[in-house]
Structure 1
Amino acid sequence: MPPIASAQSQPVARTVLPDPLYYLANFQRVIQRVYERYDDLLSTEEQDFYRRLQLLSGDAQALYVRLLTRKGPLFRTSKLRYQEISDQSQAVADLVAQQLVIQPSEINLLDTFPLFTKQEWLELLPGAAAQRLAKAALVPLLQSLPEPVQTIIEQQGETLIQLNSSEHFATFCLLYFSNGRQDLTEFVLRDLGVYRYENYSLARATRVFTHREQIDKMLAYYRLRDVLDDLASLSREEILALNTQLPAIACSQQQDKCRGNTLVQRRIERLRLRLARQLERLEAWQDALALYRQCQQQPSCERQVRILHRLAQHQAALKLCQQMFDSPSEAEQTFARQFHPKLLKALGQAATKPAPPALNEVQLFLTAGDSPNVELAAAQSLSVSGDCFYVENTLFLSMFCLVFWEAIFADVPGAFSNEFQTGPHDFYEEDFASQRSQHLESGWRKLEHWQRAPDDLIQVAEQKHGIATPFHMGFMPAPELLKLAITRISLRHWQIIFERLLRDLKENRNGLPDLIYFPNTGGYELVEVKGPGDRLQKNQLRWLHYFAEHQIPCQVAYVQWQ
């Protein structure tokens, strides 16, 4: 039976972490790497934080890391038990001496209440009535005790400590990862063999941030992002107030200063787009329009056109819609083509909607057999007269990464912050290709060479298997699929597909056909499979129309179960 799905090679072997202090080594790596790259941009307080860490014993550093990763900020020293820390009492004393933890002079009952069990609190309350109460109901009774809670805790022989300077470590993590998403667990996943990453340059000269102002604005961005988790509950006035708190980014003509600003600006714009969208839901149209006009990213233009149309400002909507015809985004171009006739009609002008290229559509009557999956069932049907693989987006995206590997991981200033990136920070931005023109040219030549020497492609794919890329976490298609694809698909068709990907990597990474079919008679065909009641999505239609326009063999198979 010919293969009907692209098989993945054996997973990378996983190992057990042998060092109980692995977390300390990871912490020290983050602190040291950030200091080496950003010492000139650290505040006086952050530099002092770094120096105080260096004065700690190994035990004290290990305990501090443990506290950073636990829910705090208050801790009972009697509950801190770590076998790898030989002298915990001395470690606490060292942390207090360096003011990395403090012993609070005043203790609030509500802050300390979660640290003790219900039974421990009941020992302080007279009578049996409290036994029947839920733990939360004990708070008023404890507040009515004649002695303050701090005195009671001290009488019990308990010592409480409070984490200090953790905000400085958060800044170090931001500078190391350049985002608020990754943390020290990345080291563990890599060391366990869960993920592998490419080796790329992390030289000081290519660091992301070049001015302290950029760091402060990124920190402000993440503080505001946490507030937006409950955006739906905010009023119009609260949303507008939040918008005024978003940091302003002014990029100078100096390229190095713009580097960090660009990263911050993109993230701030995403927050502003979320605020504008919520204002739309509140029907605050003018406010939403004002916020969208401050954004360059998608779908800013589309939302503006829709709002202007809703407000009957059809002439302004038409002007903006016509500008979108020249957008680098195919999604915006498609929207403009579809919405343009509606605006002309609203203005009383004749409107003709251009017909898209005709699609090759077929009906496929299948018997529901071993596989209820409609794509696999279609692939098995086609495999009778050739090789058919269920690939969806994986084949072309994997090939794209192999062809342009050098471009993706090129030594471009501001592209990489740490060793746990699947790709550069600007991978999905408009200037990705322009920043790497020479590397892309090398990739085109490599593609042409692989068509003449497919075994070289297989060798590179085996070398790169398991290494994470922007599109997947280390997956590579089966060698037999790669060899068939590189020999059956013409060089020009590869170029046509990759050219569209490069125009908008974020938008065009999805929507590719489900199957690739290699008939015994030669050639190939892409097949998008749709089960009963299923419809083509917008991103799929864009790919299918593109294939039809460029004579790339593709069909839509509508499956009917017999």
Structure 2
Amino acid sequence: MNSISGSAAATASLDDPFYYLANFRFVLGWVGTHHADLLTREERGLLATFDAFPQPSQALLVRMVMRKGELFRTGRLVYPEIGDTERALAPLVDAGWVEADPELGFAELFRLLRLAELRRALKAEIAAAGLAPGASKTAISEALSVQEFQAKSLSEWWPETREALNGERIVRLTVMPWCDRLRLMFFGNLRQDWAEFVLAELGLQRFERVELTPGSRAFQHREEVDAYLALHVLRERLEQGEPLAALVAELPSVPEKNVWLAQRRGKLAFLLGQAAERSGQEALALRLYVESGEGAGGQVEARIRRLRLLERLGEYRQAHALASRAWAAAVGEQERQALARLLPRLCRRLELAPPSREPDAAVRRLDLCLPMAGAIGVERAVAEHLNRPEAPAHYVENALLTGLFGLLCWPALFAPLPGAFFHPFHVGPVDLYRDDFVARRRERFAACLARLDDGSHGEAIWRVWHEKRGVASPFVYWDVLDEGLLEQALASIPATHLRACFERLLADLKANRAGLPDLIQFLPGAASGEPRYRLIEVKGPGDRLQDNQRRWLAFFQAQGIEAMVCHVTWQQGGAS
């Protein structure tokens, strides 16, 4: 079987001055072998063209790809292992991979030239704006950026460029979209980049070794790659503040039955809806919230936001009808919590009887007045105040229970299922937050949780802790989950409590992995039948419980797990 089971097989040694080129070639080879059917003839030709470039030209191209942007001053493309920059550039320019004298807008020119160079290149424009010859870069920018300059080459902006810059010039990399497409097909996302190889080689990041087969890949059809790239570009344009109308008009459809792409599209539609609502375009916002909240991978946030907007617009009857249908359906905890607040308000507006609901149980409260925490923060201040040799307190937030879950369920989380892993740099399975994640691994998770029933969970957790220490995981934070904390947790937290918490995590991994209490205090000397630990959520002055924290606290009460909220006020006087 042709497979790669870990990052060691994919990375080049940093002792090799061309290590980055070897890593880039690895990606090209992987994509060419496993994704050839997703590439056009022209794109496959680019793979062959790259292979034919001289090594210095290949290396220079990769150096440019790994840097930010597409425009570069050649004086900043000097690398000892490459040698003469202009000689390495020549084949790239001849092949059209690098543009030798690209057109530059004013903002690009301003970013690439130093202040003294700008004063000389824009001498006439600076004088026409009434600025002194020695004006600052800020003053030049404020005066000239409001003008509409036509994009033109550097030699047109500044005819004396080559002499003034001692032969240096500005070039543009033209194949970055192709390189991004290859990177996307390899990683399955655009968050990860070429630095992953370096981090792995330096040992700064270690990844689980999972069997990868030729069929393990992120995309099965080219249209999926195209849709992902289109959504990515639209989100970037939204963040840059482009007009909403153009962005909404270009919102692409996604291939049928591809749930994870539908989720990405739904998230973008939700963000566009938020932007529309902020700008007073309520009708557009409602339409986008509908698009986001319906269908495969519908966004809970979009459905809730739509109801709140309808309420704000006075559409109480429509909002009530939609909310009532949702209340009667099997919605998740997050949505039901929002509906429990919204429906009574709508019923009062419409003079209807509110839906029946169980009253919230009172959460235990602890009030503390402490010296000002200073740099350590309120959570650690409370932990230090409560900590005693016979009852140690730890600041763990979302790292302890999720970490124990990640250790016990490691075999299920890193099971080599189709579509879960497809390169050596996965922190976790790519389908982690998809609707069918648990269903695909139900028997594996059941086998892991069964260890909680027969008492072998501690042994399993310790084994994984020792064998996998430092390996990236979506749930295990190694710098928090040290040996002492782990030992105390396994000695104090009953297996029945762990099973209940882990089952709740599996019910909605994305929503429930956060919101856990800040502190845990172990009570090893407790009498028989008394709690052996307690969980403490810390709130400083003016801080309130978040919705996900409220849901966890309600769950702990229902399970008989000791949990409380500590409200802190500060003593008058100096810091501790």
Give TM-score scaled by structure 2 length: 0.81
In structure 1, what is the equivalent of residue 7 of structure 2? none
1:499 is the counterpart of 2:503: yes
CA distance in 2, matches of 1:39, 1:33: 9
CA distance in 1, matches of 2:79, 2:70: 18
Contact 2:207 2:472 in 1 (8 A): yes
Contact 2:304 2:338 in 1 (8 A): yes
State the AA in 2 paired with 1:487: A
In structure 2, what is the equivalent of residue 428 of structure 1? 433
- The 1:554/1:287 distance shift into structure 2, 3 A limit, reads same
Q: How far did residue 322 of structure 1 move?
A: 2.7
1:485 is the counterpart of 2:489: yes
> Out of 229, 234, 248, which is 2:239 matched to?
229
Structure 1 residue runs without a partner (length 5+):
1-15, 252-257
In structure 1, what is the equivalent of residue 544 of structure 2? 535
CA distance in 2, matches of 1:280, 1:294: 15
1:409 is the counterpart of 2:414: yes
Whose RCO is larger (CA < 8 A, sep 6+)? 1
Structure 2 residue runs without a partner (length 5+):
1-12, 293-297, 572-576
User: Bigger CA drift: 160-169 or 36-45?
Assistant: 160-169
CA distance in 2, matches of 1:546, 1:422: 29
- The 1:366/1:116 distance shift into structure 2, 3 A limit, reads closer
1:163 is the counterpart of 2:167: no
CA distance in 2, matches of 1:185, 1:473: 21
Contact 2:406 2:476 in 1 (8 A): no
In structure 1, what is the equivalent of residue 467 of structure 2? 463
- The 1:541/1:552 distance shift into structure 2, 3 A limit, reads same
In structure 2, what is the equivalent of residue 183 of structure 1? 193
> Out of 500, 525, 537, which is 2:534 matched to?
525
State the AA in 1 paired with 2:548: N
Question: Structure 1, residues 455-504: CA drift from partner, whole Å, max 9, x if none?
Answer: 55223212222122224554451223223322332222111111111122
- The 1:282/1:120 distance shift into structure 2, 3 A limit, reads closer
Equivalent position SS for 2:392: strand
In structure 1, what is the equivalent of residue 225 of structure 2? 215
CA distance in 2, matches of 1:495, 1:307: 39
CA distance in 2, matches of 1:78, 1:528: 55
Q: How far did residue 436 of structure 1 move?
A: 1.3
Contact 2:119 2:134 in 1 (8 A): no
Equivalent position SS for 1:349: coil
Contact 2:66 2:194 in 1 (8 A): no
1:65-144 → structure 2 map (5 Å cutoff): 65-70=62-67, 73=70, 75=72, 77=74, 80-86=77-83, 88-104=85-101, 132=134
Q: How far did residue 245 of structure 1 move?
A: 0.6
1:283 is the counterpart of 2:288: no
State the AA in 2 paired with 1:218: Y
Q: How far did residue 152 of structure 1 move?
A: 4.6
User: Bigger CA drift: 201-210 or 297-306?
Assistant: 201-210
Q: How far did residue 367 of structure 1 move?
A: 6.6
State the AA in 2 paired with 1:293: V
State the AA in 2 paired with 1:56: F
Q: How far did residue 527 of structure 1 move?
A: 2.2
1:331 is the counterpart of 2:334: yes
Contact 1:358 1:548 in 2 (8 A): no
In structure 1, what is the equivalent of residue 40 of structure 2? 43
Equivalent position SS for 1:210: coil
Equivalent position SS for 2:441: helix
In structure 1, what is the equivalent of residue 518 of structure 2? 514
- The 1:560/1:37 distance shift into structure 2, 3 A limit, reads same
Contact 2:392 2:521 in 1 (8 A): yes
> Out of 391, 396, 401, which is 1:386 matched to?
391
CA distance in 2, matches of 1:482, 1:73: 48
In structure 2, what is the equivalent of residue 255 of structure 1? none
In structure 2, what is the equivalent of residue 22 of structure 1? 19
> Out of 435, 444, 447, which is 1:442 matched to?
447
1:352-371 → structure 2 map (5 Å cutoff): 354-364=358-368
State the AA in 2 paired with 1:241: A
CA distance in 2, matches of 1:195, 1:333: 39
CA distance in 2, matches of 1:72, 1:495: 49
State the AA in 1 paired with 2:280: E
Equivalent position SS for 2:240: helix
- The 1:334/1:102 distance shift into structure 2, 3 A limit, reads closer
State the AA in 2 paired with 1:324: A
Question: Structure 1, residues 202-241: CA drift from partner, whole Å, max 9, x if none?
Answer: 323131211111111111112211210134xx6xxx4233
In structure 2, what is the equivalent of residue 316 of structure 1? 318
Contact 1:415 1:424 in 2 (8 A): yes
CA distance in 1, matches of 2:382, 2:100: 68
Contact 2:408 2:457 in 1 (8 A): no
CA distance in 2, matches of 1:533, 1:76: 51
User: Bigger CA drift: 197-206 or 38-47?
Assistant: 197-206
Contact 2:185 2:217 in 1 (8 A): no
CA distance in 1, matches of 2:173, 2:119: 27
> Out of 346, 350, 353, which is 1:350 matched to?
353
Contact 1:74 1:112 in 2 (8 A): no
State the AA in 1 paired with 2:553: L
Q: How far did residue 80 of structure 1 move?
A: 3.6
Equivalent position SS for 1:205: coil
- The 1:476/1:408 distance shift into structure 2, 3 A limit, reads farther
> Out of 234, 238, 244, which is 2:249 matched to?
244
Q: How far did residue 91 of structure 1 move?
A: 2.5
Q: How far did residue 70 of structure 1 move?
A: 4.2
User: Bigger CA drift: 35-44 or 509-518?
Assistant: 509-518
1:544 is the counterpart of 2:553: yes
Equivalent position SS for 2:367: strand
Equivalent position SS for 1:556: strand
- The 1:272/1:79 distance shift into structure 2, 3 A limit, reads closer
Q: How far did residue 290 of structure 1 move?
A: 1.3
1:204 is the counterpart of 2:210: no
Q: How far did residue 407 of structure 1 move?
A: 2.0
Contact 2:410 2:464 in 1 (8 A): no
In structure 2, what is the equivalent of residue 341 of structure 1? 344
Q: How far did residue 344 of structure 1 move?
A: 1.6
User: Bigger CA drift: 171-180 or 474-483?
Assistant: 474-483
CA distance in 2, matches of 1:478, 1:79: 44
Contact 1:208 1:413 in 2 (8 A): no
Identity of aligned residues (%): 35
Contact 1:75 1:162 in 2 (8 A): yes
Contact 2:380 2:395 in 1 (8 A): yes
Contact 2:408 2:464 in 1 (8 A): no
Q: How far did residue 122 of structure 1 move?
A: 7.6
Question: Structure 1, residues 337-362: CA drift from partner, whole Å, max 9, x if none?
Answer: 12221122222113366411222223
User: Bigger CA drift: 353-362 or 116-125?
Assistant: 116-125
State the AA in 1 paired with 2:458: P
State the AA in 2 paired with 1:391: V
Equivalent position SS for 2:521: strand
CA distance in 2, matches of 1:301, 1:126: 56
Question: Structure 1, residues 240-292: CA drift from partner, whole Å, max 9, x if none?
Answer: 332121111241xxxxxx4xx32322212111101111222233222211111
